[in-house]
Structure 1
Amino acid sequence: MRLQTTNEDCQKLSITIYNDGFGLVKEERKLYSTDAISEVQYVDVAEKIETDSIIVSGLKVEEFNFDYDLVNQRKLLEKYLEQVVTVHDKERGDKTRVRLLSVTDGIIGEIVDTKEIIINPVGELILPSLPSGLMVKPALIWNIKPQWMNHEIKVSYLTKGIQWNGNYVLELQHNTFQLTGWVQINNQSGTTYNQAQLKLIAGEVNRVHDIRDFDHDEHVVYSQMSIEEEAENFTEKSFADQQMYTLSRPVQLKNQQEKQINFLNIANGEYKKYYVVDRYTEQPPIMIEMMNSKDNQMGIPLPKGKVKVYQEDESDQTLEFIGEDEIPHTPKDELVTLTIGKAFDIVTDSKEKKRYRAYDFEGEYEYVDYEYVIKNKKDEPVMMKIEHSIYERWSQIMRSSHSYEQENTRQLVFWVEVPANQETIVSFTYEIDQVFHVKVHK
């Protein structure tokens, strides 16, 4: 005897989704029968299930198959080849019994009564009951020793075709920001998850990839989109060197659906805006920097994702899009740095003004005079970050027009505020240990 179990028998369902396009499904079902069962059809599994990942607890399975020969017109008709079907012509009110001979290029049949061959008969095909072995949904077919069923079983498996990532909307105000975070889930796994407990893993879990893994990832069309606007639904914790986010309520993830769930709402955080210049800069990049800390109204691990940035146009109080960037997985108490575009009203130029040598009793030295010219055409002051790399080995800065930070032995950083509609020149001289420089390059 055969027993079919569907998601209607589900007692508990949970799914853990990973960034890399797969998920772990865990399900508990109650199986019951009044006769001895030798085959269990476990229906409503993901069409993109990884069959080598299946774990069954509570039932000893001797052999299993994964059947995904799902119903479509051609497959269905192929099951009736050499069998008799009925063609119903509604307009004429006729019913003709036809033996199916081929369904490859249209329908070819033999009229049972006259033995005439008919091609693409006019009317509806009426078929006998669905042939055994043709499934309307993907199913695991388990062969077991004959037994009466009164079992609670637990089944877990990995499936491809489902993934998540974070995305953010950042609104910049004068000195503060508002940040809204969303969890975006795409379910293309081939089944729907009803009332599922949801966990999300942020991080990189090593997988062995097969080239076939990528066949279904391209040209995906999402048929639905759902947005759930309830903040603070997620709790987070560190788990197995990754970060886990758990939704506090069950959720429905329909097949062929994109869902977004609000998980973060930050108000009145502080940010820093500045522009970066190095010796090759023509248009300085626009940088936004925020500290992911409790003191800055944040302080939670942020999953990777795109950040879309908006700012209010004060003339009509409407928000305008000003750029976007992508952040990596960011732990708490780390900087979030965004590059949102290039400045239009800031002109920069840099050049080596002079290079000369000098000698003393200790050796030969070379000196370099360098300068950056920054022209601020904006009606407001701007903060500039000058990152100057020195490729030769150098001993020290001999003179500088502005204070600086030495990030390492070969890079200087200047933070300079340039007033509105003014020009600022940053100049400095550094010394190269020429004796060492010559020895190195002989």
Structure 2
Amino acid sequence: MNKRIPTTSPCVAAANKHQPFSKRLAHALVFIMVLSVISDVHTAKADNETLSTRSDQTGITLSLYQHNLALVTETRSITLANGRNTIIWQEIAPALKPETAWLRLLQQPEQLQIHAQHFDLKRLTPQSLLESHIGKTVTVIRIHPTTGEETRETATVLSTEGGGILQYADRIETGVPGRLAFSTIPDHLHNKPALHFTLDNKLTLPTPLELQLIYLTQGLTWHADYVLELDQNDRLASLTGFATLTNQSGIDFYQTKMQLIAGDINQSTPVRTPVARHLAKEIEMTSAAAYADIESTPHFELHRYALPETITLNNDQTRQVSFLTARAIPVEKQFVLPGQSHYFSSYYFSPEQKQHIDVYISFQNTGGDLGRPLPRGIIRAYKQDQKEDVHFIGEDSIQHTANNATVRLKLGQVFDISAEKKQTDFKRIPTPDNATRQFETAHQITLNNAKKEPVTVTVREPIPGDWRIMYESHSHKKISSHLAEWHIEIPADSQIKLDYRVRTLL
């Protein structure tokens, strides 16, 4: 519940043991003893100052983006008096972007006028507390190592750098020999991050108001991970999609409505991903059956996935939820020999160059359990052997993929199909104006199939400039202005040679 902060409060004492004071005095312990502290850490500056914590919360929604960014929408019930009020909104994400904070009244918004807001960046630590007492007196407490007798002496803090400098009544010393006791905590130091709002409430009677705070924060993100399982014949596959949620924002989110936003948003300044203080303490998997039917909803030019149940995402936690399950997906396997454009304008002395052939798996995002937007992520492919042991066979990343689009995955290189390529002729043909360059090159590609079944290999050559095939042993297809393809069928345990001559004008 929210509470009104009084203008005066009794003194209390607090201690904080075993805190390092500085690098120079790494073995010194600073014990912070607070002899007098204002209630709830702050001294109220106005009669109508209200401290709000999560106990006032009536709802919270977290919208995660794939760019180390999240939108927090939190609603709290807070009672305000008529007239000028100050709200200290505690328990917010420490990594929030203060300039994005937006407070609004859900009912009768015209009755609330916000005059100012600020975010407290200075946190309460032993070092910041000592720095705030420069020029002020503190109490130094020493314990005799033999007798255990405690002595107290006042000193003025002159500096906190290089181990600290304290001025006593009869001397000046460097370093902190014992514990320090402080009589107050300055108003600008806070034990929790907080937003301060100064506003006018035009409602006459004090009533609970539904106030909603909206802000952007870093330290929260999500990405998609997919599992693709091929059948024995490499003709059908099942696909499962998981949303991996990561929280390094410095705060826990309890029983939160979660929305996953897929798509690319423009941001005026680059977002720096924070370095994790340590690895996530926990990775939790939510049952695939629980969220397998999450629907994607268009939202502006993005897509939104709303989880059907509230979840808890603690700080330093990574959690996965399933959002897609599709079975019996027809897939196509393709063997591709990629080329390089510099082969057509340079002379190669090497008689033969061994080439690797890539294997691709593709499917259509349409029909059946698919036919929905697929967020950007990594698809990892697996396949069972005859003993039903599962093996990892490769992975590839996909961009945001719309409905009815083709998903094409490069899983690796083929073991039993190989290729050798050599340049059999090279000519540089003079041009009348010498402003352009013209080449004529001849090539031979030897394709070897060691499999027990026939295969088809796609030879893909990116040819630059204005080009024309002068001769070829197999017919090609002009896929684009700079791409020629040959589809070569190779019988089992056989070898096929592809010869062609091309003239290019650059």
TM-score, normalising length: structure 2: 0.71
Unmatched tracts of structure 2, length 5 or more: 1-46, 106-111, 341-353, 428-439
Distance 1:144 1:151 in 2: 13
- SS of the equivalent of 1:301 reads coil
1:421 to 488, 493, 498: 493
Letter in 1 for 2:53: T
Pairing 1:342–2:413 present: yes
Pairing 1:67–2:138 present: no
In the other structure, the counterpart of 1:361 is: none
Task: Deviation per CA, 1:147-173: give whole Å up to 9, x if none.
Answer: 856321111112223222111222222
CA 1:409 to 1:136, structure 2 compared with 1: closer, same or farther past 3 Å?
Answer: closer
Letter in 1 for 2:375: P
Letter in 1 for 2:61: S
Contact 1:194 1:253 in 2 (8 A): yes
In the other structure, the counterpart of 1:17 is: 64
Unmatched tracts of structure 1, length 5 or more: 357-366
1:157 to 209, 215, 218: 215
User: What is the CA-CA distance between 1:410 and the residue it aligns to?
Assistant: 5.9
Please report the RMSD computed on the Cα atoms of aligned residues, expressed in angstroms: 3.6
Pairing 1:291–2:364 present: yes
- SS of the equivalent of 1:234 reads coil
Moved more, 165-174 or 103-112: 103-112
Contact 1:3 1:37 in 2 (8 A): no
- SS of the equivalent of 1:152 reads strand
Distance 1:24 1:142 in 2: 19
User: What is the CA-CA distance between 1:90 and the residue it aligns to?
Assistant: 8.9
CA 1:53 to 1:126, structure 2 compared with 1: closer, same or farther past 3 Å?
Answer: same
Moved more, 154-163 or 408-417: 408-417
Distance 1:172 1:129 in 2: 67
In the other structure, the counterpart of 2:400 is: 329
Contact 1:237 1:244 in 2 (8 A): yes
In the other structure, the counterpart of 2:343 is: none
Task: Deviation per CA, 1:332-391: give whole Å up to 9, x if none.
Answer: 2111111122223322235677999xxxxxxxxxx9987643211234443322334565
Q: Which has the higher strand share?
A: 1
In the other structure, the counterpart of 2:177 is: 121
Contact 1:111 1:118 in 2 (8 A): no
Moved more, 159-168 or 330-339: 159-168
In the other structure, the counterpart of 1:187 is: 247
Pairing 1:31–2:78 present: yes
Distance 1:350 1:27 in 2: 63
Letter in 2 for 1:246: A
Letter in 2 for 1:9: D
Moved more, 278-287 or 393-402: 393-402
Letter in 2 for 1:319: V
Q: % of aligned pairs identical?
A: 23
Distance 1:233 1:272 in 2: 26
User: What is the CA-CA distance between 1:408 and the residue it aligns to?
Assistant: 4.2
CA 1:278 to 1:201, structure 2 compared with 1: closer, same or farther past 3 Å?
Answer: same
Contact 1:279 1:350 in 2 (8 A): no
In the other structure, the counterpart of 2:284 is: 227
Distance 1:27 1:37 in 2: 23
Report the count of equivalent residues.
Answer: 417
Pairing 1:133–2:188 present: yes
CA 1:279 to 1:77, structure 2 compared with 1: closer, same or farther past 3 Å?
Answer: closer
Letter in 2 for 1:164: W
Task: Deviation per CA, 1:298-353: give whole Å up to 9, x if none.
Answer: 22211001122223344x54323222211000112111111122223322235677
CA 1:351 to 1:43, structure 2 compared with 1: closer, same or farther past 3 Å?
Answer: same
In the other structure, the counterpart of 1:8 is: 55
In the other structure, the counterpart of 1:360 is: none
Distance 1:246 1:14 in 2: 10
